[in-house]
Amino acid sequence: MKPYASLKSILAEFYPLHRTLASDDHDKTLEIIGAYMPASSNYQIETYAPLTPAWTWQVPERYVVHEAYLETEDGERVVDFKNNPLHIVSYSLPVDKTLSFEELQPHLYFNEKRPHAIPWVFKYYERDWGFCLPKNQFDKLSRNKKYRAVIKSEFITDPKQGFKIATALIHPEGGANPDAGEIIVQAHTCHPMQANDDGAGVVSAIELAQRLAKNPLPTGSMSVRFWFGAETIGTIVYLSQNENLIPNLRGGIFLEMTGNQNKIAWHHTRQHTHLLDRVTKHVLQNVTHDERDFAAAPANDERVINGPGVNVPCISINRWHYDEYHTTDDNLDIIHEEMLVGAAQTAEDIIRIYATNYTPKRTFRGPVFLSGNGLWVDWRENWALNRAIEKIMMRFEGEHTVFDIAEQVGLDYWIVREYVEKFRAKGFVVPLPIPFEGDAE
């Protein structure tokens, strides 16, 4: 694992690259991420053959741009891809035409609200071509000249140059617990020349992985799977080609747009009142934040993880909205280290509760001989816990998780868990894992 000065310094390495669904620069981005992931996480980059069916979709082709520019008929360059990858519409078809301004205009894109900035526009599936430029520059273009539009691009279907996705897996102390399953953390990597959307989510995920590797979850907890790839289609490809992983998933967190200076926003699961929602609400109870519905803007891969045929509870954490979105103003200047780290901290706090939670099921009959088994709590040292002992033991019927019990008796989760773990160590309760609640088929 490479050392790094800051999360922002990692982001600076891949921010300017031409990261599309499948491209050479996207591959470089995944390699950069891998250099900073914990050595113990078994970071792997997987390749999927283009045009392979992926549920109702198909694996995208690799997109290669050799050259792209727009110039006047007398040779004056208007825009050039080599100066900024946002100058062309992502996945533009090849073109070499001389056009009047009227013919060219439908292929030019700008942002009215930010006239100085180049917008990011993509047409992955609506195959077309186009150029992007600042509104200020568009306004100055001569309406009387002719323009030559050149895009030398390729769509490559060679399986060896396929669609790439990266994953890593961090286990709890003592190794994986198959019964507990996994929680998946996702961030996407496919937005060229965009820092906050979603390079920020990527580096927050790296920080989270580092924390969980240095301070592993306790024995018996869920493992944490990290996923990096192209938005939406990446998750569709990954799950469609690895359906055997779906029954292992107990929840998900999608991290994005974590670097701008806004408060945290979290989006509910599709279930809305799931245990994962309640844990998130608990973690953020003393933090200024926004609370939003499932798949409210900006909706991303939680729609796949928590969508039809999978439906594993998944939340999203972001700092949406910000005015620089999808323009060249979404750059390193709007990224703040404390915001990146803060989002990682929020995700970590959620995972440390959700992934360590379980349902205690009693093995005893009758009142437990507390003092004879080292389970009595001196009321002079912890009055609240002493008063709650009977209420806690009455909830060992296999119907309430540790988090449920903590909520119901009004005590901190970690205090209750530590106490329940003493019963578990004595063999007085057995842990029932959080069940898979998605759609296995």
Q: Which two tokens stand for residue 387?
A: 């008063």
| Closest CA relative to residue 3, chosen from 166, 304, 310, 210 | 210
| Closest CA relative to residue 61, chosen from 93, 37, 14 | 93
Mean pLDDT of 213-231: 98
- pLDDT of 441 reads 72
In sequence order, what DSSP letters do the residues of 25-94 get, joined into one string? HHHHHHHHHHHHS-GGG--EEEEE-TT-EETTEEPPPEEEEEEEEEEETTS-EEEETTT-GGGB-BTPPP
Radius of gyration for the alpha carbons in the chain, expressed in angstroms and rounded: 25
Model pLDDT for residues 375-393, shown as the tens digit of each residue:
999 999 999 999 999 999 9
| Closest CA relative to residue 119, chosen from 81, 151, 86, 83 | 86
pLDDT > 90 in the chain, percent: 98
- pLDDT of 412 reads 98
Model pLDDT for residues 14-68, shown as the tens digit of each residue:
999 999 999 999 999 999 999 999 999 999 999 999 999 999 999 999 999 999 9
Beta-carbon contacts of 135 under 8 Å, excluding residues fewer than 6 positions away, are 110, 111, 112, 114, 115, 116
- pLDDT of 165 reads 98
**Longest CA span, the chain:** 95
Place 10 in a pLDDT band, splitting at 50, 70 and 90: very high
Place 166 in a pLDDT band, splitting at 50, 70 and 90: very high
Mean pLDDT of 192-197: 98
Q: Are 281 and 292 in contact (CB under 8 A)?
A: no
- pLDDT of 1 reads 80
Domain boundaries, the chain: 7-60+164-354, 64-156, 359-432
Q: Which two tokens stand for residue 439?
A: 């759609």
* Model confidence at 5: pLDDT above 90: yes
* Model confidence at 76: pLDDT above 90: yes
- pLDDT of 415 reads 98
- pLDDT of 369 reads 98
Q: CA-CA distance, 174 to 217, in Å (whole number)?
A: 9
Mean pLDDT of 184-188: 98
Q: Where are the alpha helices (DSSP H) in 322-412?
A: 337-354, 383-393, 402-409
The sign of the CA dihedral 296, 301, 307, 312 is negative
Mean pLDDT of 346-369: 98
DSSP 366: S
Q: CA-CA distance, 153 to 148, in Å (whole number)?
A: 16
Distances (CA, A) of 189 to 205, 234, 239, 264, 402: 12, 10, 17, 21, 36
- pLDDT of 210 reads 98
- Check if CATH label 3.50.50.60 holds for domain 7-60+164-354: no
Q: Are 420 and 405 in contact (CB under 8 A)?
A: yes
CATH of 64-156, one of 1.20.910.10, 3.50.30.90, 3.30.750.24, 1.10.1530.10: 3.50.30.90
Residues 296-315: b if buried by 16+ CB within 10 A, e if exposed: eebebbbbbbbbeebbbbbb
Mean pLDDT of all residues belonging to the chain = 97
Place 173 in a pLDDT band, splitting at 50, 70 and 90: very high
3 or 343, which is more confident? 343
Model pLDDT for residues 196-216, shown as the tens digit of each residue:
999 999 999 999 999 999 999
Model pLDDT for residues 106-155, shown as the tens digit of each residue:
999 999 999 999 999 999 999 999 999 999 999 999 999 999 999 999 99
Which amino acid, 237? V
DSSP 144: S
* Model confidence at 440: pLDDT above 90: no
